[in-house]
């Protein structure tokens, strides 16, 4: 019952798809294939295998003629295909812009973290790790991916400690980034408005209340301050540093 899309499936073993050309429903084919040495799964690298495939059913895409009558179906509000293309291009540009901005921020933070050579105190590691884990659970709940039983299980001390253990390197990296961000924020006398702080704290508390999650207002305020400081520092660095973009 495996559904194979020959147009979209790009992760097949080289030679597999070519061996199926011309196959008909009810037909069985057996053919040898050698996995490449660069295959992602190490245990299969260079392995010679024999595949047997049974074709149960064939599917075809019957595409309608691309004209203006399809415009409203493709994107509501559009009357012509040219409008559809223009809207899609605008969306792609927005996605690309957001991706570049995020990649820039990540690259800057990554370099900032490398400037710090300290042993992170266990108490700070625990606090930051628990905050990150709590944010992750809140996001999963917001996306309706957790029921009450799952949430209770993932909120247990055992689950939290497993997360801290598995994400130790990542949590430590984030803490080091925060330390540098804090120093730059103070050294350059950067500021954010009180209105921003109050608004973001209120929004965060509303999220916790919406999903019946326990919260500490003091911790939330500190988290919001960290986020606002990071935003200001990244903005300042992008204005005062030379950034080279490398297209791959």
pLDDT tens profile 178-199: 999 999 999 999 999 999 999 9
pLDDT for res 100 = 92
Intervals of the chain under pLDDT 70? 144-146
Structure tokens at 13: 């073993």
Tell me the pLDDT tens digit for each residue of 26-61: 999 999 999 999 888 888 899 999 999 999 999 888
Spatial CB neighbours of 71, under 8 Å, sequence gap ≥ 6:
78, 79, 80, 81, 83, 84
Query: What would you report as the CA-atom Rg of the chain, rounded to the nearest whole angstrom?
Result: 26
Predicted model pTM: 0.61
Strand partners, 34: 48
| Dist. CA 228–CA 184, nearest whole Å | 13
Contact 200, 177 (CB under 8 A): no
Q: Residues with Cβ < 8 Å from 156, sequence gap 6 or more?
A: none
Tell me how far apart the alpha carbons of residues 186 and 191 are, in angstroms, rounded to a whole number. Answer: 9
Domain ranges of the chain: 1-62, 66-115, 118-240
Q: What's the pLDDT score for residue 145?
A: 63
């Amino acid at each position: 019952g495996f559904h194979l899309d020959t147009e979209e499936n790009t992760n097949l073993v080289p030679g597999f798809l070519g061996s199926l050309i011309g196959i008909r429903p009810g037909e069985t084919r057996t053919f040898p294939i050698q996995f490449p040495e660069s295959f992602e799964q190490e245990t299969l690298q260079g392995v010679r295998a024999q595949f047997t495939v049974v074709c149960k059913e064939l599917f075809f895409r019957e595409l309608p003629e691309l004209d203006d009558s399809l415009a409203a179906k493709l994107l509501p509000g559009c009357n012509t295909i040219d409008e559809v293309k223009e809207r899609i291009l605008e969306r792609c540009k927005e996605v690309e812009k957001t991706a570049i901005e995020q990649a820039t921020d990540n690259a800057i933070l990554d370099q900032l973290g490398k400037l710090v050579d300290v042993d992170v105190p266990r108490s700070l590691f625990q606090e930051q790790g628990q905050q990150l884990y709590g944010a992750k659970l809140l996001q999963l709940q917001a996306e309706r991916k957790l029921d009450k039983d799952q949430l209770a299980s993932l909120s247990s001390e055992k689950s939290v400690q497993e997360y801290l253990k598995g994400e130790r390197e990542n949590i430590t990296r984030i803490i080091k980034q925060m330390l540098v961000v804090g120093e730059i924020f103070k050294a350059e006398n950067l500021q954010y408005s009180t209105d921003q702080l109050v608004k973001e704290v209120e929004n965060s508390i509303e999220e916790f209340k919406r999903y019946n999650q326990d919260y500490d207002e003091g911790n939330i305020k500190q988290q919001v301050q960290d986020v606002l400081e990071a935003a200001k520092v990244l903005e300042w660095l992008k204005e005062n540093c030379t950034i080279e973009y490398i297209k791959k």
